[in-house]
């Protein structure tokens, strides 16, 4: 087991992609803080599943990650429970299909705050603990849309994820002297509830742009996140790993 005795925080942890990431960490021996603001019942069910299937501890921490005070309280609660924080996965996010010409100021600010500013809040809050440990792994959730301007998502979503990529580069350089690795994954369309909310025509449009001609699977993203959080990636920092079936290459 790659994470025996380690503690992972996963924001948006009770959603489809987040729950897959939480389960993948628990399977590899980690105790998991499932951070979510909306899917609390799903999170509670996931804690029971993690205990039953993997024998690991999991806890749901209700948190609005766009609120800096709540984020600090969440991180303190996790540390007080397990006395360490080894891994942070900034997975929480929301979608938007609004065109830049039409988007309201309120929606623009909300998407940026949930998708980008929340990652700053969470990273800033765990850094002191990771520095004291002399070790840590931070994995941010970017997106293919940050690289191609979006296919069916709107401009603010692409902008928020582009910010995530730049934030990853900057934070990786800042924290490298403390043996804290910072990387991101940039998924293309993944078969989650977010994708299922689109109509069939929109989904087909996404698939048409993918050389492998299918949506990605939650497990494929989770495995990549686990790799970046493990010792197997100790010499990788400041990297954005694409998971998009060949839809974009760089």
**135: annotated active-site residue:** no
Running DSSP on this structure, what letter comes out for residue 192? S
Query: Would you say 56 and 29 are in contact if contact means Cβ atoms under 8 Å apart?
Result: yes
Angle, helix 68-82 to helix 118-133, in steps of 10 degrees: 30
> What is the SS3 assignment for 101?
coil
> How far is the C-alpha of 39 from the C-alpha of 100, rounded, in Å?
29
Can you say whether the dihedral through the CA atoms of 181, 179, 229, 88 is positive or negative? negative
Q: Which helix (H) or strand (E) holds 82?
A: helix 68-82
Tell how far CA 242 is from the center of its chain.
Answer: 14
Quick check: helix, strand or coil at residue 104? coil
Report the b/e string of 20-37 with b at 16+ CB within 10 A. bbbbbbbbbebbbbbbbb
Task: Kindly name the residue from 135, 157, 198, 235 that is annotated as catalytic.
Answer: 157
How many CA atoms lie within 13 Å of 139's alpha carbon, on the beta-carbon side? 28
Q: Active-site residue numbers?
A: 157
């Amino acid at each position: 087991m790659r994470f025996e005795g380690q503690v992972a925080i996963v924001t948006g942890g009770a959603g489809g992609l987040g729950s897959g990431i939480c389960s993948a960490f628990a399977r590899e021996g980690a105790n998991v803080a499932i951070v979510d603001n909306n899917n609390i019942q799903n999170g509670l069910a996931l804690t029971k599943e993690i205990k039953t299937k993997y024998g690991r501890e999991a806890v749901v921490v209700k948190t609005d990650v766009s609120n800096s005070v709540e984020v600090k309280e969440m991180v303190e609660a996790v540390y007080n429970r397990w006395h360490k924080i080894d891994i942070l996965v900034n997975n929480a996010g929301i979608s938007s299909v609004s065109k830049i010409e039409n988007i309201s100021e309120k929606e623009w600010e909300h998407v940026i705050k949930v998708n980008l500013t929340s990652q700053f809040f969470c990273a800033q809050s765990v850094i002191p603990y990771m520095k004291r440990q002399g070790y840590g792994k931070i994995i941010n959730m970017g997106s293919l849309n940050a690289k191609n301007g979006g296919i069916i998502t709107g401009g603010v979503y692409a902008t928020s994820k582009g910010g995530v990529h730049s934030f990853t580069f900057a934070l990786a350089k800042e924290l490298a002297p403390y043996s804290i690795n910072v990387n991101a994954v940039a998924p293309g369309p993944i078969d989650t509830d977010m994708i299922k909310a689109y109509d069939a025509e929109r989904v087909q449009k996404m698939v048409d742009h993918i050389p492998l001609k299918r949506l990605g699977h939650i497990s494929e993203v989770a495995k990549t996140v686990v790799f970046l959080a493990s010792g197997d990636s100790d010499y990788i920092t400041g990297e954005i790993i694409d998971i998009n079936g060949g839809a974009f290459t760089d």
